[in-house]
Structures are given as C-alpha cells and as structure tokens.
Structure 1
Amino acid sequence: MAMYHFNVTQVSRGKGQSSVASASYIAGEKIRDDYYGKTHDYTKKGGVLYSEILLPDYAPERLKDRETLWNEVEKTEKHPKAQLCYNFNFALQNELTYEENLEIAQRFIKENFLARGMIVDYAIHNPVRKDDIPNPHVHMLIPIRPLNKDGTWGEKQHRVYLFDENNKPVLDEKGKQKFNAVPTTDWGSPDTLREWRKAYADIFNEAFEKKGLTCRIDSRSYAEMGLDVIPTIHEGPHVRAMEAKGIKTDKGNHNRRVKMLNALLTKLAAKLSDIFSWVNEFLTECKREGIYAPGLCSLLNDYYDHRYNEAYSQKGKIQNIKERASVFLFLEQNKIGSYEELETFVRSTYDKVNSLEKEITKKKTRIREIKTANHYHDMYLKFLPVYQELQKKKLKPFKDKFSREHSSELDQFYMARRKLWDFWNGGNPDWNSLDKELTAAIKELDVMKMTYEDLETKADKAFKIKCITKSTLEKVNKRVPERTRSNKHTHDMER
C-alpha cells in the first residue's frame, strides 16, 4: 500500500544533539566528533543500502568526506544551543523496485535541494522488521548555514535595522537600535516545506502512473483533507525496537490510545454525517415533490403503536413502552421537535465532536510534557551527587579523571539540566504546582472520555430516530391519498 511520509526536524545543540552523531547514524559509519571529543560508531547498524554526499558545483572537494563536512559544521556554529542541520526523513514505496526508488529519490533530491545550493548527505535505509514488511526510506542531513560561492560558510540570517516614520532609528530600552533577524535563505519557510511535500508526492505519483498503478499519495495534512484526526507522535528507531520485542513504551501506549480514539471519532463522525445528510435530503425531497411530511411525534407514535399491536408477549409490549418513553424523553431533553431541529442537533453534536478532539489533543500533549519533565527531574536528582562530587575536585587532572570515569552519569545529568531549563524557560521550577496540574489534567481527560460516550449515545439515539421516521414515513405516504400528499407539509411536532 502506497504510504505518504515526509518529515523534517532540526538537529540542535540545545537539545543535546550532534550533527556528527546524526551523520554517523544515517550512513552506518564510524566518525570522530571533534566538538564533543567522542567517536560515534554505527558500523554494526544494519539496513543501510546506500549513502552519498551531494555538493553544489562550487563546493570544495574536501566536503565530500563525511567526517570533514560535519565537523566543519560543528566548528562553524559557535552558540551552545546552535541549530546545526535539517534532518529529513521520507518514505520510499514498496510498489516500486529498489532501482526505481533510488532513481526517483536522487532525482527528487537534486531537483528540490541540490538545485537550491544545499549540501545533501543522504542514505537509503531498509531495516529488517519483525513483520517482514519492507520499510525503505531516505534520511537526509542538510546544513542550515548556507555555503558561499567562494566555498566559505555564509550567514544564516542578517539584521534589518528598524527606523520610524521620520527615518530615525528605533531604540530599545538600553538605547540600542532595534532590528529584525531575517533568514538569508527560504529553506526554513513553511511555503518551501509545502513545495517540497507536494513535489515528493508528485514525483512518486508520476512513477505510479507510468507503471499503470492506481495507488496515489497525498501531501496534504489531515486537516487540509477535511479529516479531523488526532496526530500520533514520532516513535523513533529505539522505541520501535523496544515495541518489536514486546516492551511497552510511553510513546507506543500514547499512539495506541490515539489510534483507538481516532477510530471511535471517525465512526461517530460518519454516523452523525449520515444522519445530517439524510435529514437534508429528506426535507429537500419533500419540498420538491410537495409530499406531506408528518411531524416527528406523529411518525414515532405510528411506529410504536404498530410495534405494540404486533407484540406477541406482554414482555414485548412492556419493552416497546420503555423504548417509546426513552425516545420521547431524548427528544424532550434535547429540545428536538421537528426535522429542522433534528438537523440543528446533529450539526451541533458534530461540532462538539470536533471541539472535543482538539481539546483531547491539547490535554494529551500537556500531560506528556509534564511526565517528560518529571522523568528528567528524576534523572537530574539521581545524578546530581555525581555532579556535586565533580565540583569538589579543584585540580584539573583529578577533575578530568573523574569526568572520564563518570562520563555517562554526567552526560545524563547535563542533558536533564538542559531539558529542565528549557521546560521552565530558565525560571524557578514549581514542582508542587506541576503535580497538581498533572492530576487535574488526567481527571479532565476522564471527563472528556465521559463526554465522548455521551455524544456517542446521543448519536445512536438520533440514528435510531432517523431509521424509524424514514421507514414509517414511507409507509404513511403509501396510504395517504394523492390530494392529501400535495398539501403543504408541516415539520412541527404535535404537542
């Protein structure tokens, strides 16, 4: 089955990431990282079918070497939280051969990235999966900083200074002239990303068409296609590996819950949409043909009177009475007295489903953020004594020796500290308030779940009313004389 997958993120030093480590991973090579003083070795990683570095014509030949290229990127970026490179990942298609996928991927990269003057380090992966379903895909790393025509590294952005209407500099509170930082390229623009996403779909759809295949992929998001679904989160190779071994992870559990909820929302939306369409078509047909349309109450009473008279047992008659009462109570509670009001009810219920979906997405995201922060807080506290012990070492030789011996613990401490700094935006953490927020958010999710169940119950009731009124109306119209059928129809429910 053809699959659309085109994703881009940024490799950032502020997230504890390294462009050298990323390059080592995608190429399955052993590369020395001069910035961190580490060697990254992914030579035992399987599934790397092909790798290559593509350079603009004016790029120096030395950048063809992967270790040289990415160490230069790391060296050029001075800021401790610098954004280093774009990390693209896009799917190849199982309907095409390896040779066809390779040719299309190379053409796509050259036409859309190399043609813009971008340096592209890419590799084709096809890892072995437990389900034996091929998963060929491409990883691309592209430096964010552009390369000048003279072979030197350029600027990511330039300053555009601000002036007022009298052409005088606009100053900040410190007396310095204000400015806007304007990117020197359009590589990070949302419009450019949309172009790439569309080009990716177009080039593979063209290949499908040439092979006489009917499958197609679509670059539009679910929202753009009119599909209101909650997005899953990217699991990554480590999480997928754990899940494949039967080890449940937070990300895996989250995605399973999202998929289950999406299935329920899709089912409910389809049912409500079906009711809405029927009501609309029914009223339009009545108006066009001048057919008598009895009120809801009349049709429902006809239906339940017939069922009562046809019941063979007292138990059946009692059940019929209970069901009739339930339906009329539902109409009364929801103030549904006519077909128009039923239509309004369906529309408002559908709107509530969409709104609920968005709220659930926000709530789940926030819960995940808080749980992640708690995880890093535990990590911080666990390795804080190691860091404190390091600070006690005054002489450099002893300090270096301790750092080497406890590099793993210190790396985890530094990462946890960075994550917590970003989470709290450099401010003072308030873990008690955060715990209270998490508890409240989980309870709110439970309420949302109950709200959803209530919406589903209402949809089922409305669907039942639709079926009853439709079948009963057909019988009524067969019995009504022609002159009565042509009378002006009414939609009001008899009180």
Structure 2
Amino acid sequence: MAIYHCSAKPVSRSGGRSAVAAIAYRTASLLTNERDGLTHDFNAKKGVVHSEIVLPDDVDADWALDRSALWNAAEAAERRRDSRVAREFEIALPHELSADARLSLARAFAQDLADRYGAAVDFAIHVPQGKSDIRNVHAHVMMTTREVTPDGLGEKTMIERENRWLLANGLPTSHMQMRDIRKAFADHANRHLLEAGLDIRVDHRSHLDRGLELSPTEHMGVHASQMERRGLDVSRTRLEEKAAKKNADLIRRKPEEVLRILTDERSVFDRHDIARTIHRYINDNDGFQRAFAAVMASPQLFELLPEQNGKLAKYSTREMITVEHAMAASSLRMAERNNHRVSANKIDQALRRQDAMLGGSGLTDEQRTAVRHITSP
C-alpha cells in the first residue's frame, strides 16, 4: 500500500554542503560552483528519470530556469559561513501510480511550494536501482531560501525566518509551516490516487495524532544489522524488538488498531493488505501469526465478497460500511432539496476553528465573505 513520506532538511554551509553540489547530484548534472570553482559532475548517475525547475505562477523570472544560474545565485546571495543555501524536501511517490501520474504529483507539490513561498523549486524523480525495493520511487525537491524575482533572488522566504520574528508579525512558526506542507503533500497525493481510480489514501498525521496506540518501528539500517550479526550491542535493536513485542500484544488485545490503519488508507482490502500492515509493526513470525489470527477473528471485520475463482476475499469494517451507508443516504436526501443553507452558528464555529488552526490573523475578510456566500440559502 502507498506509504506516506515527506521530510525536510536544510542545505547548509555549516555542514560542508553547497546548493550547487547538492542539486548536481540530485539531478545527475554537471555544474560548476562559481563561489569556490569546484565542478561537480554527476552525469553518470543512474536512476534519475526526470528533473525540472518550477517558478511561482505570478513571477516572470526566466533566468531562474537555468539550473547553473539559479543555484549559483543562491550561493552568491549568502555571505555567512553557516548560511542555509537551500531547503530540500524528500517525498515518496506512490508506486501504485503510473510514471506520468507520479510526475504530475511531484510537479504539483513543487508548484505548491513555489507559489506558497515565492521561491524557485528544482525537483528530480529517482527510481530504485539494482536490488533496491522497486516500490521506492521518490523525488528530491530543492527550494531556494530566498524569493525569486525577475532580477535575481530577493528576501528570505517565510519558512527561513526566525520564529521570534514570525510570531512578532502574527505569522506561523517554521514548525507550523512544516505541518501545513506535510498536509499539503498528503492532499496532493490523495487527489492523484483518487484521479487514478485507486481506493488508496495516505495520512500525514502521526500515530499519536490519529489516536493509535501502536508504536511505529523503523528499519535498523545495514550497519546496525551487521553489528547485530557480529554479536555487538545495538541499543536501537533492543528498542525495535521491544516495540514489536508491545505491538504484538496490543494487536492481540485490540485488533481494531490494525483495521483502523487499513481503513484510513483504503475502504476495501484483502488478506494480503492485512498481512502487510501487521508486518510493519511486528518482526517475528510467532507474534505475526497470532496478531494476524486476532485481526481475522475481529467482530469488526466484515467480508464484502467471498473468495472465488482464485481471487482473494474482500473485506471492510462494520464502522466503514455504516459511514458509507450514512453518506449515501445523506446524498440521496440532499439531492431532493433545492437549497443547501447552513446555520449561522455552524458557520461561525467553523470559522473560529479555522482561525485557530491557521494562527495569527486567520482568514481574511474576503475569505469570510466567500465562505458565508457559498453556505447561504
């Protein structure tokens, strides 16, 4: 099933990095950093299937479509030895999508960033090579730390400002902005999955925010695994084993946790989907088998279609079926009406909630007028 991933990190001189070198590697290009005279040649790098620069819709800055000119300008704009010269996002592109749809998704996210911050955004799509998991298609998305203008790079973008300055000006902190970006990518991904006719969703929220008790686990990495095989102590290994044991016990007691994760991602699933989801959280065979049996025996699990002609049985949950029946009934009732008025109290409550989510000044007067108009009789 599609996995959600959207992370961000700065490209900073304090870490010995340069924007020119970073983007040359990401895009498999040959670029010379005019600041230090070093040439970075990654033309032979495999697995880069597409790279592209996008600019804000309302800015005429064709000069920035030249990769060398853009990233050398990013280097030249910064004077300090510890300057951030770029911000990089890494996003997972659902393997269920076609190559064209993945490109469209990466481009939509890059355009969103460009319009949101007035920056230039350079992205590259990477596909797995060699023995890597063929589903690990992803994109590296590099954004300038300054706004792009017709004549060069201008002021720092909002996400690069100090939190103290942001709060003083009634603007969201960098953490709040990153939260919005992560949600935006989930929205873009889900829209593309929907347009592709796939009953799959991704969720940007943490387990805690989703009200899940399961402990997320991660792969140890090749070096930690090698150390473990040599009998060396790896504290992270113990933590992962502890988390997996806790998850196995929890799933046996509350198999609905797994069903919630499944229905957050798709409304209909099969035994393989259940097994893959459990495998994310449990890494030993006995624990896996017991947890799988508990989920299959859950009274919340509902068989929609029995196994037939070699095709696996299809399942959903009783809660999901109730929700979908209610939605269908509501749609039929609404179709018979000739108005769609929303009560003033509900509109006021919704606007207050939205203001609280946005922080600072919240919605503009023009936006409030728009909301009241579309919810009027």
- TM-score scaled to structure 2, two decimals? 0.56
CA, structure 1 residues 187+68, in 2 after alignment: closer, same or farther (shift >3 Å)?
A: farther
Alignment of 1:39-438 (within 5 A): 39-56=39-56, 57-148=58-149, 151-155=152-156, 181-182=165-166, 189-227=174-212, 229=215, 232=218, 257-270=238-251
Q: Return the alpha-carbon distance in structure 1 between the equivalents of residues 155 and 118 of structure 2.
A: 12
Q: Percent identity?
A: 30
Q: Does 1:3 align with 2:25?
A: no
Q: Return the alpha-carbon distance in structure 1 between the equivalents of residues 62 and 145 of structure 2.
A: 19
SS of equivalent residue, structure 2 residue 210:
coil
Which amino acid in structure 2 is aligned with residue 190 of structure 1? H
Deviation at 1:222, TM superposition (A): 2.2
Q: Return the alpha-carbon distance in structure 2 between the equivalents of residues 31 and 89 of structure 1.
A: 21
CA, structure 1 residues 148+199, in 2 after alignment: closer, same or farther (shift >3 Å)?
A: same
Unaligned runs of 5+ in 1: 161-179, 275-495
SS of equivalent residue, structure 2 residue 17:
coil
CA, structure 1 residues 211+256, in 2 after alignment: closer, same or farther (shift >3 Å)?
A: farther
Q: Return the alpha-carbon distance in structure 2 between the equivalents of residues 265 and 181 of structure 1.
A: 43
RMSD across aligned positions (CA): 3.5
Q: Return the alpha-carbon distance in structure 2 between the equivalents of residues 36 and 187 of structure 1.
A: 36
Which amino acid in structure 2 is aligned with residue 109 of structure 1? A
Contact 1:54 1:120 in 2 (8 A): yes
Number of equivalenced pairs: 245
Query: Which residue does 2:294 correspond to in 1?
Result: none
SS of equivalent residue, structure 2 residue 87:
strand
Which amino acid in structure 2 is aligned with residue 260 of structure 1? E
Cα offsets for 1:285-320 (capped at 9, x unmatched): xxxxxxxxxxxxxxxxxxxxxxxxxxxxxxxxxxxx
Contact 1:58 1:150 in 2 (8 A): no
CA, structure 1 residues 71+43, in 2 after alignment: closer, same or farther (shift >3 Å)?
A: same
CA, structure 1 residues 131+79, in 2 after alignment: closer, same or farther (shift >3 Å)?
A: closer
Query: Which residue does 1:30 correspond to in 2?
Result: 30
Q: Return the alpha-carbon distance in structure 1 between the equivalents of residues 127 and 235 of structure 2.
A: 26
SS of equivalent residue, structure 1 residue 147:
strand
CA, structure 1 residues 46+187, in 2 after alignment: closer, same or farther (shift >3 Å)?
A: farther
Q: Return the alpha-carbon distance in structure 2 between the equivalents of residues 38 and 218 of structure 1.
A: 42
Higher helix proportion (structure 1 or 2): 1
CA, structure 1 residues 262+115, in 2 after alignment: closer, same or farther (shift >3 Å)?
A: same
CA, structure 1 residues 126+37, in 2 after alignment: closer, same or farther (shift >3 Å)?
A: same
Which amino acid in structure 2 is aligned with residue 198 of structure 1? K
Q: Return the alpha-carbon distance in structure 2 between the equivalents of residues 101 and 147 of structure 1.
A: 26
Contact 1:208 1:215 in 2 (8 A): yes
Q: Return the alpha-carbon distance in structure 1 between the equivalents of residues 69 and 82 of structure 2.
A: 21
Q: Return the alpha-carbon distance in structure 1 between the equivalents of residues 216 and 105 of structure 2.
A: 31
Q: Return the alpha-carbon distance in structure 1 between the equivalents of residues 175 and 208 of structure 2.
A: 16
Q: Return the alpha-carbon distance in structure 1 between the equivalents of residues 140 and 247 of structure 2.
A: 33
CA, structure 1 residues 263+249, in 2 after alignment: closer, same or farther (shift >3 Å)?
A: closer
Cα offsets for 1:99-118 (capped at 9, x unmatched): 11112221232234335412
Q: Return the alpha-carbon distance in structure 1 between the equivalents of residues 171 and 10 of structure 2.
A: 15
CA, structure 1 residues 271+73, in 2 after alignment: closer, same or farther (shift >3 Å)?
A: same
Q: Return the alpha-carbon distance in structure 2 between the equivalents of residues 249 and 68 of structure 1.
A: 47
Contact 2:59 2:150 in 1 (8 A): yes
Which amino acid in structure 2 is aligned with residue 262 of structure 1? A
Alignment of 1:473-488 (within 5 A): none
Contact 2:118 2:157 in 1 (8 A): no
Q: Does 1:18 align with 2:3?
A: no
Q: Which has the larger radius of gyration?
A: 1
Q: Return the alpha-carbon distance in structure 1 between the equivalents of residues 238 and 34 of structure 2.
A: 42
SS of equivalent residue, structure 2 residue 146:
coil
Deviation at 1:81, TM superposition (A): 0.6
Q: Return the alpha-carbon distance in structure 2 between the equivalents of residues 75 and 249 of structure 1.
A: 46
